[in-house]
């Protein structure tokens, strides 16, 4: 007895990972410096045990919107670190393309976070963030708690950059473990459920 018919397989649409789910296991090479001898490291889920993760994906290296976002996350990495959160960038480009772009683009020379290479598209597929038409990642952002549970997901169109300050605001709100109203900022009162 076949429980899945051919029409169901043909019409299968991958689902995007969402809030409350475990972030998928991964093992990816990342670029951490411009020096070829020390540029590459391998990262897994266990590389940042006990930390929050901010994983943000971009479509392609050597493009126009992507470096504005990557540089903005780079400038804010210290603020994420102050909240015990590791920033990780991700695209389907190879680690060698990441390195070349990092060396070529002045805003990316000194990035303080790894640029992960998902060249096999395994993590991107598990997350459900591949743009079907272009075959690259959508502009997706995931905040993952220290237990590996996804607590926030956002996705932008390929042409629209995201706001790292808003991602940081959401991280602050999540870390309060309280009810936070619209536009809440760190240090402001949270809501009391009466």
The tokens describing 166, both together, are 């808003």
Q: Which of 66, 85, 137, 180 is catalytic?
A: 66
**Distance between CA atoms of 103 and 35, rounded to whole angstroms?**
9
CA-angle at 5, arms to 133 and 21, nearest 5°: 60
Q: Which residues contact 149 (CB under 8 A, 6 or more apart)?
A: 20, 21, 22, 23
**Distance between CA atoms of 124 and 36, rounded to whole angstroms?**
26
First to last CA, the chain: 54
C-beta of residue 124 within 8 angstroms of C-beta of residue 140: no
* Cα torsion angle, 129, 141, 155, 145, sign: positive
Is 85 among the residues known to form the active site? no
Does an H or E element contain 66, and which?
A: helix 65-82
DSSP class of 83:
T
* Cα torsion angle, 64, 71, 41, 141, sign: negative
> Which residues carry out catalysis?
66
């Amino acid at each position: 007895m076949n429980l899945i018919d051919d029409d169901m397989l043909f019409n299968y649409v991958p689902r995007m990972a969402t809030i409350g789910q475990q972030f998928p296991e991964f093992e990816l090479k990342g670029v951490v410096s411009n020096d070829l001898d020390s540029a590459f490291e391998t990262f897994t889920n266990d590389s940042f045990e006990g930390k929050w993760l901010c994983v943000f994906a971009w479509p392609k290296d050597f493009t126009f919107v992507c470096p504005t976002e990557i540089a903005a996350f780079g400038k804010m990495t210290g603020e994420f670190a102050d909240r015990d959160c590791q920033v990780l960038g991700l695209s389907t480009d190879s680690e060698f393309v990441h390195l070349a772009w990092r060396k070529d683009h002045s805003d990316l020379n000194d990035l303080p976070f790894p640029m992960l290479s998902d060249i096999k598209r395994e993590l991107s597929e598990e997350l459900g963030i591949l743009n079907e038409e272009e075959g690259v990642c959508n502009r997706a952002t995931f905040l993952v708690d220290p237990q590996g549970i996804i607590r926030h997901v956002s996705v932008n169109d390929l042409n629209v950059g995201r706001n790292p300050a808003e991602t940081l605001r959401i991280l602050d709100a999540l870390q309060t473990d309280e009810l936070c109203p619209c536009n809440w900022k760190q240090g402001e009162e949270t809501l009391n459920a009466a």
